[in-house]
Amino acid sequence: MVRLAVALVCCTACIVGVVQAQDSKPESSLTVNPVYEKNCAKCHGKTGTGHFMAGPSLVSGKATAMSPDEIRTIITNGKHHMPKFEGKLQPSEIDALVEQIRAKGKQK
């Protein structure tokens, strides 16, 4: 009987752990970040996969292979048709975007 109780507690802990892990993902995800939706989605697409003739994909290809500093520099200073966001976004908002772009790359 004691064994059964222990097993039950373990199972419950596992299930709770899994559910929480799934819950925390969307919150920290690039495409549900309001800063992204407002400033980046029109060029890089709602899902971050890019737009024809506008922004390249942020979820595959070059962006995910870049270092955090490179991504931060591009967002801060712009590049070619990519506008600069210095002064438009808080450094902490840019940091969050950098983290989220890199997290997207790791999900693959």
User: Under the rule (CB under 6 A), what is the footprint of ligand HEC?
Assistant: 39-40, 42-44, 54-56, 58, 61-63, 71, 74-75, 79-83, 85, 97, 101
SS3 call for 60: coil
Distance CA 46, CA 67 (A): 23
CB of 59 to ligand HEC, least distance (A): 10
The residue with tokens 């819950």 is 23
φ, ψ for residue 18 (rounded to 5)?
-65, -45
CB of 99 to ligand HEC, least distance (A): 11
The residue with tokens 């507690």 is 9
Which residue's CB is nearer to ligand HEC, number 22 or number 26?
A: 26
Which residue's CB is nearer to ligand HEC, number 31 or number 44?
A: 44
Q: Which helix (H) or strand (E) holds 95?
A: helix 91-107
CB of 98 to ligand HEC, least distance (A): 8
